[in-house]
Structure formats: structure tokens, C-alpha cells
Amino acid sequence: MRIMGLDFGSKTVGVAVSDAMLVTAQGVETIPRKSPAKLRQTLARVEELIKEYQVGTIVLGYPKMMNNEEGARCEKTLEFKEMLERRSGLPVILWDERLTTVAAQRTLMESGVRRERRKSYVDKIAAVLILQGYLDAQAFQKEQNENREL
């Protein structure tokens, strides 16, 4: 079973999926949202991708503020999390996404992607960064546990 990473925004949702070995994250797509208040089509597309990639867990970026406080975006993300869990039946893990969009934009700039094209990629790259951070943390935790047993 693979893990899906999501960068939930008011206009788009970036999607990434792990490889089967749960080592690397690859960007899949950016799902456009027609309205910030309507999520039915967005959730339907996420469900299609869950089936297509045989996803067993979802990691959802949690947009805390730099001072570690939770704002209005966190509330919207929690609502989306509940809807995802209800519709998919999968566990949804919240993952701190601070600075992932900035890092994604920097990566695209350094790769030479033109400014007008960056918007179409930034959320997918942010989803990759969110998921890769989670995968790396899981691998580190596993390594720490194995070292304790020795």
C-alpha cells in the first residue's frame, strides 16, 4: 500500500504518491477547485487517485503559522481531513507544512521554470515535499527503533 500526500489550498489541491517501498514521493497532479466552499468534485478525484495508486494512508499538509499558532486555514484543513476520512475510510495524518510552498517555488525557480508556469506546478511540488518529509521521518523513526533493540 502506498501513501498519498496532499497540499490542500483554497484554489487547488496538490497530490503526491509514494513508491511501493515507501521511500520516495512523486508528484501526481494538481486538482483545480472550482469554489473554496465546494469539495465534492475534489474529493471524488482524490478517491479515484486512491484507487488507482492503491493508497492505504493519506498525509495532509497542516498549515500552521510560523509562530506555531493555528489560523483559519487550519480549520478548513481539519474540515477537509474529516471529509476525507469519512469518504475514503483511510487514516489521514496531519503533517506540518510550514515553508513547503516557499521551498517548492525555490525549487521551480532553480530548475528554470518560468514564472507564469510555476503556479501550475507549485502545489504538486509542495505535496511532494510534505509526503517526502513524512516518509523521511518514518524511516528515521524505524532506524532509531532498530538501533535501540541492538
Q: What is the pLDDT of residues 124-149, one digit of tens each?
A: 888 998 999 899 889 888 888 877 76
Instruction: Please report how the helices 72-88 and 40-53 are oriented relative to each other, as an axis angle in degrees rounded to 10.
Output: 50
Q: What is the pTM of this model?
A: 0.85
CATH 3.30.420.140 fits domain 2-149:
yes
Name the residue among 9, 11, 26 with its Cα closest to residue 135.
26
**What's the rounded mean pLDDT across residues 105-114?**
68
The residue whose grid cell reads 481539519 is 78
- Give all strands of the β-sheet with 25-32 in edge-to-edge order: 25-32, 12-18, 2-8, 55-62, 92-96
What tens digit of pLDDT does each residue of 13-37 get?
A: 999 999 999 999 999 999 998 877 7
Mean of pLDDT over the chain: 86
The letter for the amino acid at 30 is T
